[in-house]
């Protein structure tokens, strides 16, 4: 491959990453809660039933904010079922995942888990089967200090201090026919604005995300955002986006190009949000919450992978096993999010444990890192700071990507996919510049030359690469580190130039000590 050139300048900045860009998601789904973060009989469980082996991996993964309790689950959830003495909590049929929900774990337990993990909670309210009244009651229960029936109920339940939850999602994927009480944009816009008003009257410090489309492929995409924001514009800070990348077509080159569609999706939602602002002559800017993103396809199609018969408790569903090429597509998604740091101010990897997750567990047994764990840990641990605008001169290839999950199958043509996808983040405080790079050539080394202007000193501090000759290789309980980052030696800084050779089909992180 010919040289790939990149130009960076210290002062050419896209935006600063919001800490909430590095979030993840815990849903009452399969073994995410039960057997994932919460397993009272596990040998490592603490007095709250929290698995400490999982918590240790979560700390290493470093998510900053955690969305809960769904997902599709939230659209049928009565939050009241999950608070108060556990023995008195009802068992319910969960129609999202055809499971039995025991309610042994609920909002207060989730808040405790977040505190133990040093993660900010993000709560979603049910705007499917419930209404604005249930939503405002949950805010009062969680955030009001005391002296009212609901806040005193929380105190009586053992949580004297308010939970002070700042980030709230107004329902989930309300455009999707699979959702309990799915809505038209008008119906959803109306209920969302009424919920938003009351929630903020109770606690004006909270921030709200309205549901955007559950995918770019949805037939209502565009019209949905426009109509929903027409209703909610003055009362919300965020609109949400969801994307799951897939390799249904068995076309690896197209799969690892598909993360570029996230860039398009983000640009389009920004344009729609700003159009709504323009119609109102408003300088308010609605930010984006990419509150579900990941690779997900093996356990998506086929009823048996999504639900099990007999209304089981915490069945093993959606337990996607990630391979090396999944980690590449996933790393590309991390780069897309970083390169939109100006408008994507929150994002959640869906999900955290067992269910389409970076962490896998065996019930009663060990926990280990899936392949996608590594790019996320790099993204979160090293992605804090100012994202520099990279000018990239790379050869390209053509791909066609199939997105078949919605009511219609869509092919997206990607006419000029640069082999290099890259983001650069400058952490001023630490004096570090980090490059996140994806070499999308499946066969060729990439000779990379980066000219970095505006810094007086440049020294390679650390360089890591994730790659494997077998793109289908996975991590397992027996071989948990089959796919893990290894040091990259083919990297050198001199003057204002960095030279590196990136292996074919690789994810690379290069950290440089820099001074202004």
Closest distance to ligand AHR from the beta carbon of 191 (Å): 18
User: Within 10 A of 189 (CB to CB), how many other CB atoms are there?
Assistant: 23
Q: How far is CA 326 from CA 88, 295, 385, in A?
A: 43, 7, 26
Closest distance to ligand AHR from the beta carbon of 30 (Å): 10
Smaller CB separation from ligand AHR, 16 or 78: 78
SS3 171: coil
SS3 420: strand
* Token pair for 141: 């229960």
Smaller CB separation from ligand AHR, 358 or 385: 358
Closest distance to ligand AHR from the beta carbon of 262 (Å): 16
Among 298, 173, 303, 345, CA closest to 243: 173
- Cα–Cα distance between 84 and 106 in angstroms, integer? 9
Q: Residues with catalytic annotation?
A: 173, 292
Smaller CB separation from ligand AHR, 208 or 350: 350
Smaller CB separation from ligand AHR, 71 or 383: 71
Cβ–Cβ under 8 Å, residues 287 and 344? yes
Among 465, 475, 470, 463, CA closest to 373: 475
Supply angle C-alpha 114, 193, 124, rounded to 5: 20
What is the residue whose two structure tokens read 């083919």? 490
Closest distance to ligand AHR from the beta carbon of 165 (Å): 19
- Cα–Cα distance between 489 and 125 in angstroms, integer? 49
Closest distance to ligand AHR from the beta carbon of 433 (Å): 34
Closest distance to ligand AHR from the beta carbon of 353 (Å): 12
Q: Which helix or strand (DSSP H or E) is residue 12 part of?
A: none
Cβ–Cβ under 8 Å, residues 70 and 29? yes
Smaller CB separation from ligand AHR, 213 or 323: 213
SS3 354: coil
SS3 51: strand
Closest residue by beta carbon to ligand AHR: 71
User: Within 10 A of 190 (CB to CB), how many other CB atoms are there?
Assistant: 16
**Any idea how long the chain is?**
516
Residues at the site binding ligand AHR, with contacts judged by CB under 6 A: 27, 70-72, 172-173, 214, 292, 350-351
Smaller CB separation from ligand AHR, 27 or 140: 27
Q: Is the bond leading into 338 cis (omega within 30 degrees of zero)?
A: no
Among 437, 421, 428, 451, CA closest to 513: 428
Smaller CB separation from ligand AHR, 214 or 371: 214
Closest distance to ligand AHR from the beta carbon of 292 (Å): 5
Beta strands 391-393 and 4-9 are antiparallel
């Amino acid at each position: 491959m010919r040289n790939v050139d990149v130009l960076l300048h210290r002062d050419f900045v896209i935006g600063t990453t919001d800490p909430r860009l590095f979030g993840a998601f815990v849903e009452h789904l399969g073994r995410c809660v039960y057997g994932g973060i919460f397993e009272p009989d596990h040998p490592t469980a603490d007095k709250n039933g929290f698995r400490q082996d999982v918590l240790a991996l979560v700390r290493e993964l470093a998510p900053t904010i955690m969305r809960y309790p769904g997902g599709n689950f939230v659209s049928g959830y009565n939050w009241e079922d999950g608070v108060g003495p556990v023995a008195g909590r009802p068992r319910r049929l969960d129609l999202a995942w055809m499971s039995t929900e025991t309610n042994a774990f609920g909002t207060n337990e989730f808040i405790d888990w977040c505190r133990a993990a040093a993660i900010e909670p993000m709560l979603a309210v049910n705007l499917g089967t419930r209404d604005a009244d249930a939503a405002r009651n949950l805010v009062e229960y969680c955030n009001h200090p005391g002296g009212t029936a609901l806040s005193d109920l929380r105190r009586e339940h053992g949580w004297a201090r308010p939970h002070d939850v700042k980030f709230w999602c107004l329902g989930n994927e309300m455009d999707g026919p699979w959702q309990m009480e799915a809505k038209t944009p008008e119906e959803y816009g109306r209920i969302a604005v009424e919920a938003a008003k009351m929630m903020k009257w109770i606690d004006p410090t909270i921030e709200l995300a309205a549901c955007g489309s559950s995918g770019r492929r949805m037939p209502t995409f565009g019209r949905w955002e426009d109509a929903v924001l027409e209703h909610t514009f003055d009362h919300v800070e965020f609109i949400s986006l969801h994307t799951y990348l897939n390799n249904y077509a068995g076309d690896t080159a197209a799969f690892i190009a598909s993360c570029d569609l996230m860039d398009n999706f983000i640009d389009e939602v920004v344009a729609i949000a700003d159009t709504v602002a323009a119609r109102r002559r408003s300088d308010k800017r609605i930010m984006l919450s990419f509150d579900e993103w990941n690779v997900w396809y093996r356990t998506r199609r086929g009823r048996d992978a999504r639900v099990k018969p007999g209304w089981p408790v915490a069945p093993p569903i959606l337990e996607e096993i990630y391979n090396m090429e999944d980690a590449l597509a996933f790393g590309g998604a991390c780069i897309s999010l970083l390169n939109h740091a100006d408008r994507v101010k929150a994002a959640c990897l869906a999900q955290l444990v067992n269910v389409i997750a970076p962490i896998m567990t065996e019930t009663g047994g060990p926990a280990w890192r899936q392949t996608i764990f590594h790019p996320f840990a790099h993204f979160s641990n090293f992605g804090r700071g100012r994202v520099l605008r990279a000018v990239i001169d790379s050869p390209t290839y053509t791909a066609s990507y199939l997105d078949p999950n919605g009511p219609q199958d869509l092919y997206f043509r990607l006419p000029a996919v640069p082999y290099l996808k890259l983001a650069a983040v400058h952490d001023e405080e630490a004096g570090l510049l980090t490059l996140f790079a994806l070499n999308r050539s499946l066969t060729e080394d990439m000779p990379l030359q980066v000219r970095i202007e505006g810094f007086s000193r440049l020294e390679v501090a650390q360089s890591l690469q994730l790659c494997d000759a077998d793109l289908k290789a996975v991590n397992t309980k027996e071989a948990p580190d089959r796919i893990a980052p290894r040091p990259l030696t083919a990297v050198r800084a001199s003057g204002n130039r960095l030279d590196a050779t990136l292996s074919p089909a690789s994810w690379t992180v290069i950290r440089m000590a820099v001074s202004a």
